[in-house]
Structure 1
């Protein structure tokens, strides 16, 4: 044990003498995120991008639904993970302004596991699956966008038309939306 300690001290002296920078410590949050990311099994309709490859706590998830009302659109979600992860959920925001009962006009996402139902045993894969499910089955009973939720509950055809119009960059009820259609 003492030999290891003296070797460590010698290594630090050598690094200091040669001007090498001290390595940054890896935090518990970074280790957990690295584990979660390595276990992600994303379908072809999703991909992650890292604007800063050295920062795995901030990345973008792109979802391109291939079925459901949002088929043909491309939606980007920013993930900001704090140093308290997994004790705190990641902060997830939709970068595009879209017409969805569970995503407000500022991009906030209403997903129970991102709020009161978050538990440290949950991982990033659970969040990804939850986001994917929001595009397959929008939930009108727990809305952030009440107009969209009311349309979904009262007139599904009008909701479908509004989704298509908004995805094309159109307006719904005087509100302009970002074009997210790929074609």
Structure 2
């Protein structure tokens, strides 16, 4: 998994998975076609986080505000290094579309967060998973991120469950058609 290569060690992690009654091609396509309209909780939380300035619309693959670092067969990793604990969360001055720059960042003061979505075959269906990992570049940023993580972990978990549920619903509907 690319997530293992980009962020093999981490301080924080959450992982969710769901079995989908659709083959991997159909499940992956459903994930790629997912729209923000199918994720109302994500849209609401992003509006709150963005102080009302963030309005997500259209395909998640284009609307989601975190840059895609890698995409491969049945797998995508999005990530950014930022100071998430700040209200406007400044990003590190690296190319956020460069997976190697993300992987190699070691400058103190940052939290590197990555989310991987993966589909793996499972009998006549597939397993869809979403995993988030965060690595802080020093003790001070880790302490600051810990407080932030405690505050957002529940909402982040609900977003992941919503993403998995909406993708499964779309994939299973397509598989039946």
Taking structure 1 as the reference length, the TM-score comes to 0.30
Bigger CA radius of gyration: 1
Give the helix-richer structure, 1 or 2. Answer: 2
More strand by share: 2
